[in-house]
Structure 1
Amino acid sequence: MSKLSQISESDESQDDRAITAVDYLNEQAELEREARQLMPYEPEVCTYSMGALRQPLFACLTCLRTNSNQPNGICYACSIQCHSTHELVELFTKRDFTCDCGTTRMKSNGCCKLRLRQLSKEKLIDMKRLSADNPDQGDDIPSLSNSYNQNFKGAFCDCSKPYNPMDDSNMFQCQFGAVCGEEWFHEECIIGVRPGVINRRKPTKDKAHGENKLDNLSEPGLDASADNVAKSNLNIDESSDDEDEVLPLPGFPKLETFETIICWKCTEKYRKEFECLCDALGYDKVYNIRADSLEARNTLLKREDSKKRLSEENYPFTIFLKDTFKKDIAKLLKDNSEDKQYQGLIKLMKSHSFMFEADPIYQPPDDPESDDNSSIFELGMKSLNRMPVESALGGIEAYEQIKNKLTEFFKPFAQENRVVTKEEVVEFFEREKENAASRNQS
């Protein structure tokens, strides 16, 4: 290799890692925009004092590990204000749940900063002094009505896997939830086949030489007729050029035909009642038939269908509820209130009234600054103006310190006319974070 080519490759490698100031600022602006979209609410009030709510929850895995593996659930505001440096898992919504932050379930994390801040405002006492005057901080009583499933340890579905947003499979939360704890399930697990067993990616085409026919052959063990059935079930559009498209799951209802589900774990406990619901409303149901492949599942299903109703006795099923299910169930209960065959279903639904009545989700107040196009620096200055003078001065002093350090960091690059790389910027902030952590510990 010539010296010239070595220099050229070295320059190209450096260019790949280099980032201009404009690029860096644009990247930060995009991250800020995404943060506003993901966290649009004002994180100022802990919901603990509001009692049991249907609300967005997070599980703190850091506190789980440091509190005898005791599961926990925290509200939106506490996930930002009290656990921002912890490993969190988003659980979305759960019913009848009281925030665990600041309770004995999470004693290692101390008191809830939001409740302590509110208490300091009410008593007009400095937060540091209030904290010092409360040696038993973090001893609030947790709710006895909270229930915890595997989600609170970061596992989901019947396969007990962590949530992966890159999976091809859709996930659905059980509306009923009395048995499963409002669990989330993969499409494949609902029908009884594990995620990843079925290749749901559209066969690729060789654009230069036309379609590669080998890509459309069945998997080993499938015959030609099964291959044709699979194609028709998948509704493959041969004219589509989207090679990254995830194809529908054979045997699974189309997504636009339902809104939510009642999982097979819940229907199995109340099988007679939910059979009655399905028959009366004509809702789709899919049997959970455990199999190692789609072909094996279809074979079992056909074998059972050839017998009289044996599949209904042998296999649990998931119900697919339409977007009108609340109105449908309410009308069903009203129209059949005196009919003996519906009494079991009526009793079950009335004990779970959220199936036909309003079931609102608590949401924190909107953050007035979430729609603001200001930068983080500008938002920070606005926050400083609302803080007590002593705290504001401390914030300004911290800002001056980091500004001086940044100036010193960039100075050699300016003097030597060098381009600063993204890795060097990230390394600078990681180093400062470690230094701040060591100072706090000492």
Structure 2
Amino acid sequence: MTSEEQTVSLVDVLEEDEELEEEASAVLAGSDSDHCSYPQGYVKRQALYACNTCTPKGGQAAGVCLACSYKCHEGHDLFELYTKRNFRCDCGNKKFTDLQCKLCPEKEEENTGNKYSHNFFGVYCTCSRPYPDPDDQVEDEMIQCVICEDWLHGRHLGCVVPDCVELQEMICESCMNQHVFLWTYAAHLAGKSPSSLRKRLDKTHFYVTKTENSFQSTDQEVATAIKKDEEVSLHTNCESRCLVFIHKEAEPDCRLKELEAIAQKRVQSGAVFWPSGWRSKLCSCSSCQTSLRESGLSFLLDESDTVLAYENKGKNNEQRQQGNDPLMSALDNLNRVQQLEIIHEYNDMKTELKDFLHRFAAEGKVVTPEDIRQFFEQQQSRKRGRVNTGQFYCT
């Protein structure tokens, strides 16, 4: 291997490191990396892996938690599944003929509540291809469906991928067609939906008859309210020179039924992207709750079920862990003089390393392993020189 093959761009290293750190924070920090999640039952959402070494294609699909991927499947060929909901760790059950879980050996033979897909064999999307795909030269992001949790290429969704897609949830066309009531919601909540959705759900209908063009002040307020579609209570004014009849309809028991009655249509094809907060607008009447439960979609009423909520939990966990940094704890056990000496040494090294790397960046050069080795050798030499200068001997 030549020296050129061993070198990398400093910018590439920094960007890749930052990207990997953010991804790890979002996915992994929300799960326990030390203890098998099996005792927790069907975890609401967690990072999962499939082991191609232990359960290859042709066998039974199985998933393992984050901790088991580290402790029980180290060095194995793993498929990263990102996160899945309501899943119980399979590691060591009957699907693993030659492996016993090191963290939680006492497990049932099978987790009947788990749901599996082709993702557990390392393929994704309607095209059933691996990711990354060595044979695919098209740069395309993959987006996870809220319901089936499969990952699909943007170009295979059958719709235009919106801007700020990371702030929206997506339901694939297959899941939309499987749960057809979602198309009714999509006509009002997704895409170019009316801004007056709330008014449509809570609107009071008014019928007005006017006998003269002039209004008393109270009647004028009512007329203004009616024109703005604002809700007002029954109002009559016998002394006024006009007569206003106001009829207030009872609020519907089911939002879904009212939306169906409006009969607003949209093309029922392609995936659907849902804006932030759309789950809170779904009907939660007893009938709809029963239907969602029977369809296995009760989680749609839970705004904390989202991947974004999971990622925020992981980031909060990481911040708490950083607050308990072992290095800072060690510093607390040192006296004031020792603390100042260590902080001084750290700041010196950070400044010198920054200046060292800045020279490479300014000249457009790459940093080689030999450059880094020489830098730290110089640091050690300077440190030894400072120590030797400060030594005194008695004769």
What's the TM-score once normalised by structure 1's chain length?
A: 0.45
User: What's the TM-score, normalizing by structure 2?
Assistant: 0.50
